[in-house]
Amino acid sequence: MRIAVVDIGTNSTRLLLADVAADGSITELARRSEVTRLGVGVDSSGVLSEEAMDRVFATLDDYSAMIEELGGADKRRAVLTSATRDAANGGEFTRQVAERYQLDARAIAGEQEAQLSFLGATSGRDPDDGSQIVVVDIGGGSTELIIGHGRTVGFHVSTQLGVVRQSERHIAHDPPTTAEIAELNAEIDEVLAAGVPQAEREHVTTIIAVAGTATSMAAIDLELEPYDPEAVHGHRVSLQRCREIAERMASMPETERRKVAGLHPDRAPTILAGTQILVRVIEAFGLDAIEVSEHDILYGVALDAAFNS
């Protein structure tokens, strides 16, 4: 079955067009990502701006044309996450997405976002693997942490940590001051301590990190130019290396971050907060590395659409 999935997040709008086989294997036909910054200002204003929504619509125009050029899809699903569910006009925006682009568009709760991220991240792993893993999905407005084994979720939480949200709250200078980084990390630690009980953390042996911050971390570590998803998928980055990259991002102005090998320039404004969140997550679980995965919520939604109504 051919499935088209659009993930409309707080910071980026992404497309996956793929064939999903009866055994659950996924063959990608097209995958795209554009930084559309839908959630800019939502944390303070409570609404999606016209300019931000127009950026998403322009990207969806391109994605719709691409889907048709590649022969269409049997099912077309769109998921809208943190910025849309937080905004007072999120429901109307979801309706417009559905009507304009013939998408089954759903503003999903954080809990469902977590479940779909776990499904996607574990789709290529041995379902009989009994080791405890945590899937970490750092988005623009929220971060999902999902603990489980095989295909079974045991614990999940959707936190109010996001690269756009925390950048707007804490980073006022370029580059940021030491005090701003300290305030940012204090909030991250507070949210993680409240959101993930120690009893849930202590049995986790592996961190699988998905989405833009994690894939950027891997690409920076590998100094990839151009970006290579096959090199990124499965790449391990040590905690020490993550700390080094986070410190490097915090030490330079945005103009310099835009030139960093492996980092897409459009992610330069928010990668600073993202790397700080990722480092604190690794430390919170007491582990020494992450495994980066290209299989994220896009894969989870594709599988859910293929096998469920």
pLDDT digit string (tens) for 171-230? 999 999 999 999 999 999 999 999 999 999 999 999 999 999 999 999 999 999 999 999
Structure confidence at residue 210 (pLDDT): 96
User: Is the pLDDT at 101 greater than 80, yes or no?
Assistant: yes
Could you tell me which residues come within 8 angstroms of residue 122 by beta carbon, excluding any fewer than 6 positions away? Answer: 133, 135, 148, 150, 151, 208, 295
State the pLDDT confidence band at 309, using cuts at 50, 70 and 90: low
Residue whose token pair is 């459009």: 266
- Average pLDDT rounded to a whole number, residues 19-41: 95
- For helices 50-69 and 90-101, angle between their N-to-C axes, nearest 10 degrees: 30
- Average pLDDT rounded to a whole number, residues 223-238: 96
Give dist(CA 22, CA 1) in Å, integer. 8
Structure confidence at residue 308 (pLDDT): 86
Handedness of CA 231, 233, 235, 239 (dihedral sign): positive
Q: Is 275 helix (H, G, I), strand (E, B) or coil?
A: helix
Domain ranges of the chain: 2-108, 125-292
| Topology of the domain covering 2-108 | Nucleotidyltransferase; domain 5 (3.30.420)
Domain at 125-292: CATH architecture? 2-Layer Sandwich (3.30)
Q: Do domains 2-108 and 125-292 have the same CATH topology?
A: yes
